[in-house]
Amino acid sequence: MHHRKLKEIVADQKLVHVEGTSYVDSVAKLMADKNVAAVLIIDDGNLSGIFTERDLLRRVVAEGRNPTDTLIRDVMTSSVVALNAEQLGFEAVALMIELSIRHVVVTGLPGGGYGIVSIRDFALTELSSFEKEIEFEKQVWSSI
């Protein structure tokens, strides 16, 4: 995956996004229902920010805000870290490590769309590769 272009990594992704006027409680429920850790905030077709589980913890729970009357635009991360869809997966991983973040927005997708890659995407791929390698070694050793 780290040698693939970001557009290939997010190709089958069903992006979850909301408007900045959404309330935190409904966005948190949506995130739980869709099993995602981040949603994009898109207003009038433009990317306004990203809201992550970390934002929920630090900007809502830790600050004692009421999620039923707190707007996402008031607690989202507005300084979005993004890479172009033509860039490689390893560039996203390097950026996540450098900035201590877990998500990078992918821009420049066909039709002007967006995607999100997370550190988890890469960890699961590496684990899968490792498991395949172990299985191959078992097969080699059992044939000797």
pLDDT at site 48: 96
Number of domains making up the chain? 1
Residue 66, in any domain of the structure? yes
Measured distance CA(37)–CA(13) in Å, rounded:
14
Residue 64, in any domain of the structure? yes
Tokens of 68: 């039923």
Residue 19, in any domain of the structure? yes
Measured distance CA(45)–CA(112) in Å, rounded:
9
Residue 1, in any domain of the structure? no
pLDDT at site 134: 60
Residue 61, in any domain of the structure? yes
Residue 71, in any domain of the structure? yes
The CATH number linked to 26 is 3.10.580.10
Instruction: Give per-10-residue mean pLDDT for the chain (144 aa).
Output: 79 92 98 96 94 97 97 97 93 89 92 88 60 64 71
C-beta separation of 1 from 121 below 8 A: yes
The residue among 27, 36, 30, 34 whose CA lies nearest residue 121 is: 36
User: Which residue range forms the structural domain that includes residue 138?
Assistant: 6-142
The residue among 68, 55, 74, 65 whose CA lies nearest residue 24 is: 68
Measured distance CA(12)–CA(31) in Å, rounded:
18
- The per-residue DSSP string of 85-128 comes to TTSBHHHHHHHHHHHT-SEEEEE--GGG--EEEEHHHHHHHHHH
